[in-house]
Amino acid sequence: RLSWSSAGEIGQKITVANLADICAMGGWPQYLLVSVGFPKSFIGNLEQLAQGICDEARKVGAKVIGGDLSTSEKLFISITAVGITERSIQRSGAQIGDLIQISHLPGWSAAGLAMLQSGVPKSAETEKALSAHKAPEIGYENYRNSFSMINSATDTSDGLLLDAQNIAEASGCQLAIDTNALKDMAGFSELARLAGNLSVDVMQWLLRGGEDHALLVTAKHPIPNFFVIGKVVAGSGVSLDGREIGQQELGFQHQW
């Protein structure tokens, strides 16, 4: 919503989403094609939107090489990201015995959305959540340094459980997640306090929130600067603390 986010934040956020998808396949972003349709009332925001896109692209050395601008009744923005890789990482590469690992604690973007919807008073914790939702930052170099060690990977754009399910389904195995390991991660206590202030179950944010763009991977050995949150085992789907999760419990799903 333009009432929540500046044009620069919107540009930065949609660029993160595209760059993270390239990284989730073991690639490094090179180029972006940007198409924007906009009502005439938005024309004053175009430069700020472009700046947000370019600032984020520069973090990985990517360049905007073209696209399209046109007027339209409503604002729409579409980015195509192009990258290169020496070894494509697939969701189908998970192996039984792999450790499930994640780059950073999910749930902060969902928390930020809840803050915006409820209008809670500002604090250091709420500002962190708002930033995670409106202008997410991810550790690109941390992702890049992990590529050689990863067997499978995905970007957690749709929520931890649903994206873990995607790996499990593609690899023909079960991803057994340990919620206690998630609770031991840096930032969990802050996130839990925010959830408590809104009478929300923090695990809903953490497991089903989405838009965190954390890198969820499986690998044979622990990866530096990643957090081990479970193990790949024989079976199918996703389990939490030994309990298999039903399809209806996974969270938001795209409809095609």
Q: Please count the CA atoms within 13 angstroms of the CA of 2 that sit on its side-chain side.
A: 12
Nearby residues of 90 by Cβ (< 8 Å), 6 or more positions away: 25, 152, 170
The C-alpha atoms of residue 133 and residue 212 are separated, in whole angstroms, by 8
- CA 167 from centre of chain: 15
DSSP string, 13-67: HHHHHHHHHHHTTT-EEEEEEEEEEE-GGGGGGHHHHHHHHHHHHHTTT-EEEEE
- 204 exposure class (CB count in 10 Å sphere: 0-12, 13-18, 19+): middle
Per-residue pLDDT of the chain (256 residues; tens, 9 = 90+): 888 999 999 999 999 999 999 999 999 999 999 999 999 999 999 999 999 999 999 999 999 999 999 999 999 999 999 999 999 999 999 999 999 999 999 999 999 999 999 877 778 889 999 999 999 999 999 999 999 999 999 999 999 999 999 999 999 999 999 999 999 999 999 999 999 989 999 999 999 999 999 999 999 999 999 999 999 999 999 999 999 997 656 655 554 4
3-state secondary structure of 214: coil
